[in-house]
Amino acid sequence: MLIHSASQLLTLAGGPQRGHDLGKLGIIEKGAVVVRDEKIVAVGTTDELKNAYPDEPTLDAGNCVLMPGFVDPHTHLIWAGDRANEFSMKMGGMAYLDILAAGGGIISTVKATRTASMESLIAQTRPRLLRMFSHGTTTAEAKTGYGLQTATELRLLKALLALDDESPVDIVPTFLGAHAIAPEYKDNPQGYTDEVNNTMLPMLKEWWETHAPRLPLPFVDVFCENKAFDLEQSRQVLSKAKSLGFPLKIHADEFDNLGGASLAVELGAASADHLVKTSDADIAALGKSETVAVSLPCTPFGLAECQYTPARKLIEADAIFALATDCNPGTTWNESMQFVIALACRTMKLTPAEAIAATTINSAYAIRRADTIGSVEVGKQADMLILSVPDYRQLGYRYGTNLVKQVIKRGRVYSVDVGYYRTA
């Protein structure tokens, strides 16, 4: 298939973009792409590719933007129930971590998730995943973490693998057994940390090698935060995971600076995420590393807080900067990377070009998939978007509505229906 007549083809070619290289879109005006067998086989101008591939079936991009699909590298996609009641409490003045300490927050979603069957979990998660897809996310990382006990954590992983199979979105799973202290260990956080390290992680490794041997091992993540896992416990979890061969991620500096970002660098984690209260020393460490700095601006927005990731400082320090939704029932229930871009531009002073690189090639690198997705280059998976607008700067500028017209996933074209009425 020849996709032609794109006003701007954003290739994002050349690999992850560090520091001030962020925002190099690699634009081809009047661009075109040839796709065969789920892969991109040619990239160029419409004139060039129409000449070189005269007999190829065509898809007219209609003088609109053609770009890589969004890669969302941090979501808590799978859970049961909702926490609309807590949103009211938070807007009434109660703090997120105080609700958690009182047995609400993550723990209330854990209670709902533990009692939900596999079928119910899949049925509740599917619409979120499809909303992500229709807003342009072609690959999403998805964390467990609402089980906090072996059997439920495993059920969440299995449900994620089933959703990956049935949906067009590729799901990259992460094990987040260390998301909160399980209620059974309420007054014994070290006891639960030991349970994660001595029981859950070895079990996960064995299960994975038996049941999903062809898939890469999932990431292992930890919520390094006061009232969750302290720096030492986070180190224990990530070190154990590393010794078993798992790639690593961390939730760091969402509310307090405990040093989690530097720990991530030290252990060679793929990313350190949130990074709101990050110290200058942590920023410098990230800047010298391959650990991607993943910012989640919807989270402070969702909590009605005023402080955001020091993105300009991270870029200045030469870090590899990426963006994600953090979609979850507690702090931010949002499926759209377009909204993340709009928020990132305003709250962290990114340009639309920088935010686009942070949601495609750099976010692909945050889940260590930049060799196959995140840009429009020959040999990569054919995951692309046709927007309904002719200029990429409309992304971020406009928000709250969907600018994606068509999603191309592994070479298949999906149309996003917008703006029509049907009468009975």
* Closest CA relative to residue 41, chosen from 52, 33, 31, 30: 33
Residue pair 326/299 in contact (Cβ under 8 Å)? The answer is yes
Smallest distance from Fe ion to CB 331, Å = 8
**Token match 């017209």: residue?**
405
Closest CA to 275 of 167, 366, 148, 381: 366
Among 230, 253, 326, 383, binds Fe ion (CB under 5 A): 326
For 69, residues 6+ apart whose C-beta sits below 8 A from its C-beta are: 136, 137, 138, 139, 360, 373, 383, 384, 385, 407, 408, 409
HSE (side-chain half, CA atoms, 13 Å) at 39: 7
Nearer to ligand NIG, 69 or 329 (CB): 329
Is 155 a binding residue for ligand NIG by CB under 6 A? The answer is: no
Query: Residues 29-43, buried b or exposed e (16+ Cβ, 10 A)?
Result: ebbbbbbeeeebebb
105 binds ligand NIG (CB under 6 A): yes
Q: Which of 384, 348, 332, 278 is nearest to 66 (CA)?
A: 384
Among 135, 235, 240, 251, binds ligand NIG (CB under 6 A): 251
Chosen from Fe ion, ligand NIG, none, partner binding at 330 (C-beta under 5 to 8 Å by type): ligand NIG
Piece of 12-20, 102-110, 387-395, 410-418 that binds ligand NIG (CB under 6 A):
102-110
- The DSSP letter of residue 200 is I
Please tell me whether residue 174 binds ligand NIG under the rule CB under 6 A: no
Part in contact with Fe ion (CB under 5 A); list of ranges 13-21, 183-191, 322-330, 344-352: 322-330
Using the contact rule CB under 6 A, the part of the chain among 36-44, 187-195, 325-333, 356-364 near ligand NIG is 325-333
User: Within a 13 Å sphere around the CA of 156, how many CA atoms are in the beta-carbon half?
Assistant: 31
Q: Which of 11, 17, 109, 336 binds ligand NIG (CB under 6 A)?
A: 109
In the bound state, the residue with its beta carbon closest to ligand NIG is: 330
Q: Does 329 bind ligand NIG (CB under 6 A)?
A: yes
Interhelix angle 106-114/150-166, rounded to 10 degrees, is 80
User: 86 vs 326, which CB is nearer to Fe ion?
Assistant: 326
Name the minimum Å distance from CB 228 to ligand NIG.
7
* Among residues 8, 66, 76, 116, the one that binds ligand NIG under rule CB under 6 A: 76
What is the spatial distance between Cα 106 and Cα 38, in angstroms, rounded to a whole number? 39
If one asks whether residue 299 binds ligand NIG (CB under 6 A), the answer comes out as yes
User: In the complex, what is the shortest distance from the CB of residue 230 to ligand NIG, in angstroms, rounded to a whole number?
Assistant: 15
Output 328 or 406, the one with its CB closest to ligand NIG. Answer: 328
Which DSSP string corresponds to 69-121?
A: PEEE-------SS--HHHHHHHHTT--HHHHHHTT-THHHHHHHHHTS-HHHH
How far apart are CB 102 and ligand NIG at their closest, in Å?
A: 13
Q: What is the DSSP letter of 197?
A: I
Q: Provide φ and ψ at 154, rounded to 5°.
A: -70, -40
Does the footprint of ligand NIG cover residue 330 (CB under 6 A)?
A: yes
Measured CA to CA, the distance from residue 249 to residue 324 in angstroms comes to 14
CA distance 311 to 62: 35
Distance of CA 273 to the CA centre of its chain: 10
Q: How far is the CB of 352 from ligand NIG (least distance, A)?
A: 25
Q: Are 63 and 3 in contact (CB under 8 A)?
A: no
- Find the shortest distance in angstroms from Cβ 277 to ligand NIG: 13
The binder of 128, among Fe ion, ligand NIG, none, by C-beta within 5 to 8 A per type, is none
Which partner in Fe ion, ligand NIG, none is near 329 (CB below 5 to 8 A by kind)?
ligand NIG
Between 148 and 353, name the residue whose CB sits nearer to ligand NIG: 148
Choose between 67 and 311: whose C-beta lies nearer to ligand NIG: 311
Query: What x/- string results for residues 256 through 295 when contact with ligand NIG is judged by CB under 6 A?
Result: ----------------------------------------
Q: What is the DSSP letter of 199?
A: I
CA distance 258 to 231: 6
Rule CB under 6 A: say whether 331 interacts with ligand NIG: yes
Pick the stretch among 51-59, 193-201, 324-332, 337-345 that binds ligand NIG (CB under 6 A).
Answer: 324-332
Q: How far is the CB of 392 from Fe ion (least distance, A)?
A: 28
Using CB under 5 A, list all residues that contact Fe ion: 326
Using CB under 6 A, list all residues that contact ligand NIG: 76, 105-106, 109, 223, 251, 254, 299, 326, 328-331
